[in-house]
């Protein structure tokens, strides 16, 4: 993440936020929202990262060099987006992250319409479960993410789970 003028920082929070793939909490209203949107994988990575890097967003951290790096990772097949589209075909929300072996590291999410980023997360979890992914890393457990089932685990536990995830094959859906 950018940490000032031309400086990048590496963050390793302890405790670490993860979403247990069997722990996603989908409320009744979110279940209804899931019926309103169509979810896709990698249909508009550039649109997702552009929305996530909008500097008008509170807590914006994705500057031009970081954005360019993730675009390059996408072009190399490592970074992926999940999009939520409204019935009129407009990008309503989404998220992106990096898939390596049995790990998906979520990086950022956005929404232009109610619940659209949450719907993208539901779609991501469904995809990860089907693909055999074992770890969904979200770095920090915000109140918003906690409401969806994110928990914090100590670094030692995280590193053990990460080690296990790295022994898994890359999911075919992510180019494995």
Q: pLDDT digit string (tens) for 85-97?
A: 999 999 999 999 9
pLDDT band at 9 (very low <50, low <70, confident <90, very high): low
Res 153 pLDDT > 80? yes
User: What was the pLDDT predicted at 48?
Assistant: 98
* Residues 158-175 pLDDT 10s: 999 999 999 999 888 888
For residue 12, what pLDDT is reported? Answer: 83
Residue 1 has pLDDT above 60, yes or no: no
Q: Strands across the sheet with 91-100, in order?
A: 38-41, 79-85, 91-100, 103-111, 135-139, 16-18, 151-153
Transcribe 41-102 into DSSP letters: ESS-HHHHHHHHT-TTSTT----HHHHHHHHHHHHTT-EEEEEEE-TTS-EEEEEEEEEETT
Alpha-carbon distance 53 to 35, whole Å? Answer: 27
- CA angle 100/46/93 to nearest 5° reads 90
Instruction: Express as a percent the part of the chain with pLDDT over 70.
Output: 91
Q: The whole model's pTM is what?
A: 0.93
pLDDT tens per residue across span 30-67: 999 999 999 999 999 999 999 999 877 666 778 888 89
pLDDT in tens, 103-125: 999 999 999 999 999 999 999 99
Phi-psi region of 75 (alpha: psi -120 to 50; beta: other; left: phi over 0): alpha
Q: Could you say which architecture CATH assigns to the domain 16-174?
A: 3-Layer(aba) Sandwich (3.40)
Task: State how far the alpha carbon of 37 is from the alpha carbons of 19, 24, 83, 137, 141, in Å.
Answer: 22, 18, 9, 24, 25
What confidence category does residue 134 fall into, taking pLDDT thresholds of 50, 70 and 90? very high
Residue 19 pLDDT greater than 60, yes or no = yes
């Amino acid at each position: 993440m950018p940490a000032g003028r031309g400086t990048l920082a590496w963050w390793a929070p302890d405790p670490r936020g993860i979403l247990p793939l069997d722990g996603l909490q989908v409320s009744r209203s979110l279940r209804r929202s899931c019926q309103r949107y169509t979810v896709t994988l990698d249909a508009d990575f550039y649109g997702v990262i552009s929305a996530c890097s909008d500097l008008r967003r509170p807590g914006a951290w994705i500057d031009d060099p970081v954005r360019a790096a993730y675009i390059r990772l996408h072009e190399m097949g490592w970074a992926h987006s999940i999009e939520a589209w409204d019935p009129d075909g407009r990008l309503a929300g989404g998220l992106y992250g990096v898939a390596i072996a049995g790990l998906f590291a979520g990086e950022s999410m956005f929404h232009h319409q109610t619940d659209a980023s949450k719907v993208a997360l539901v779609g991501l979890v469904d995809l990860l479960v089907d693909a055999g992914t074992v770890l969904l890393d979200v770095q920090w457990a915000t109140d918003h993410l906690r409401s969806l089932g994110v928990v914090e685990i100590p670094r030692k536990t995280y590193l053990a789970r990460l080690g296990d995830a790295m022994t898994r094959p890359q999911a075919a859906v992510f180019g494995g």
